[in-house]
Amino acid sequence: MNERAFKPTETQEPVAPLYGGPQLRQRLEKHLRHPSQFLSDQDPPAAANNLLSPDALEIAQGLGGKGVSLPVLGGTLRLVDVSIIIISALAAVLTLPEITSISWPHGFAVGLAVLFALAFFQAADVYQVPVMRQGLAQLGRVAAGWTLVFAMFAVLRTTTGIGMQFSESWIGAWYAISLTALCLNRLVVYQLVRHWMKTGRLERRAIIVGGGTAAQELIHDLEAQADNDIRICGIFDDRSNDRSPAVVAGYPKLGDISALVEFARLARIDMLIVCIPLRAENRVLELLKKLWVLPVDIRLSAHTDKVRFRNRGATFIGTVPFVDVVDKPIADWDMVAKRVFDLVFASLAIVGLFPLMIAAAIAVRLDSKGPVLFRQRRYGFNNEIIEILKFRSMYTDMCDADAKKVVTKGDPRVTRVGRFIRKTSIDELPQLFNVLAGSLSLVGPRPHAVNAHTNNKAWDDVVDGYFARHKVKPGVTGWAQINGWRGEVDTPEKIQKRVECDVYYIENWSVLFDLKILFLTPFRLLNTENAY
């Protein structure tokens, strides 16, 4: 299936009149500035697996697991280096009995050393993955950078007298301890990076959208780039095999664009590269309308048209240009910040609300027979099926784990305690433990039940583009709830408004936005008009 000797036939892409790079980008920005407009254009997604061939399904199942963010890896390594330098300076003081206290000049010297070390390490590329993969060469670069820091100190002491108050024994001990710790740390990094490379966690997994000669040339140029971290996992194209060969540059065509959406739900894919001439604008826009619901980076290959772009509007892999169209939301350090936010505030909420949760559990248990907690299958990140926890609000023999029937006003299935805890949203409090476990976030689109429907129509049939709300992790509370869209969903308009609020949240996320939603949530819960 992946035979590198295959030589695909050349095809010619029919195109619309040529648009230059800036003009095309302006038109794309016009269409993509508010992706929520696609909610009325998106084709409803098909059932998972039904559209995938056995080969595509096998490949998708082999591309699981979580990736390692390169910005987070580099930033974390910098923080570790800074910590090592500071801690080793303090350790050097403790090893020398003649130094009884640390003065501000010591702190100034340490701060200066940190700045110089980071600059020298950056210049030596020690925060680049290709260097991290090297053993002795990496240690040599780190040792050389750290030695240069102390060489500069020596020059300053000799020429200006600055730093003469520091004992040579402290400087020597600091240098030796830091150098040892930095090198040991790099040996650990070397082993980790090698392991992550073998398991595919440090590669960026890409899918080529569009085949033929354009895709073949792009693949060849990408593979020719030094230190390329792109792993091409397959090709998807709507065209038939006479215009788009079954194998291009050794990579198989796994299906059409509808199959690609399902493939990306099963596999960890980081990037979609749309390899279609930029002048075929209508076709590009139609593809983007189908692909934007996925939580991945989407890039248009400018390689085929040899168009020049400013760096602001383009990304380069080596010398190959790509137009940045859609970025994966809440990625890299944003994802770290949101996770820290969740852990801190969810822990504080559990501690603060623990007496209320105990009281609710006792009330549920005394009111009716059955378990205190209720588990329900919901849609999570990227359509993953998760189980969320709630306090049971229905009679045990009437519980609707599949949410086949929407709860309505005066619903006989709901217990007396259940009516109260549903109106006040106390039944949602156990989901704080889902947040700690990582399946939910504190703030995000609410996790809807898998079989939720209105007027006998599933919500993904009611709202085209519905699954775009799953580009981020769902939340205990969200922007839709703050704007009053909670409770019964008995009309298409209500679910439409919810999805529009969810997409707005995804497009405008920030930590401050999360704080605002979290702060407003208790006040908005006072409105129980639609909560049954």
For 96-153, the pLDDT digits (tens) are 766 656 667 778 888 889 998 998 898 888 998 888 888 888 999 999 999 998 888 8
On whether both 117 and 168 belong to a single domain, the answer is yes
pLDDT digits (tens, 9 = 90+) for 174-199: 999 999 999 999 999 999 998 988 88
Least confident of 319-328, 354-363, 392-401, 519-528: 319-328
- Specify if 9 maps to a domain: no
The pLDDT, as a whole number, for residue 508 is: 87
What's the confidence (pLDDT) of residue 192? 93
Chosen domain end from 199, 232, 263: 199
Whether 176 and 78 map to the same domain: the answer is: yes
The CATH number that applies at residue 298 is: 3.40.50.720
Question: Are 320 and 445 members of one domain?
Answer: no
Domain contains 446:
yes
- Is position 90 within any domain? yes
Domain-terminating residue out of 326, 359, 375: 326
Q: Mean pLDDT: which of 14-28, 270-284, 384-398 is highest?
A: 384-398
Asked whether the beta carbons of 173 and 92 are under 8 A apart, the reply is: yes
**Residue ending a domain, choose from 269, 296, 326:** 326
Question: What is the average per-residue pLDDT within 486-500?
Answer: 77
Q: Are 65 and 201 in contact (CB under 8 A)?
A: yes
On whether both 272 and 408 belong to a single domain, the answer is: no
User: Are 261 and 400 members of one domain?
Assistant: no
Same domain, 421 and 501: yes
Helix 333-367 vs helix 511-524: crossing angle, to nearest 10: 20
pLDDT at residue 201 greater than cutoff 90: no
Q: Which residue has the higher pLDDT, 411 or 512?
A: 512
Query: Does residue 37 fall inside a structural domain?
Result: no
- Residue 8: pLDDT over 60: no
- Whether 55 maps to a domain, the answer reads no
Average pLDDT over all residues of the chain: 78
Most confidently modeled of 80-84, 479-483, 485-489?
80-84
Q: For residues 252 and 339, state if they share a domain.
A: no
Are 344 and 321 members of one domain? no
* Residue 319 forms part of a structural domain: yes
358 plus 497 within the same structural domain: yes
DSSP 65: S
Q: Judge whether 24 lies within some domain.
A: no
Residue 106 DSSP SS3: helix
- Specify the pTM: 0.63
Say how far apart CA 332 and CA 69 lie, in whole Å.
Answer: 6
Residues 388 and 437 in one domain: yes
Look up the domain containing 192 and give its range. Answer: 70-199
Domain total of the chain: 3
**Distance (Å, rounded) from C-alpha 411 to C-alpha 187?**
63
Q: What is the mean pLDDT of residues 333-361?
A: 91
> For residue 76, what pLDDT is reported?
92
My answer on whether 170 and 294 are in the same domain is no
Q: Are residues 320 and 448 in the same domain?
A: no
DSSP conformation class of 389: E
221 residue type, one letter: D
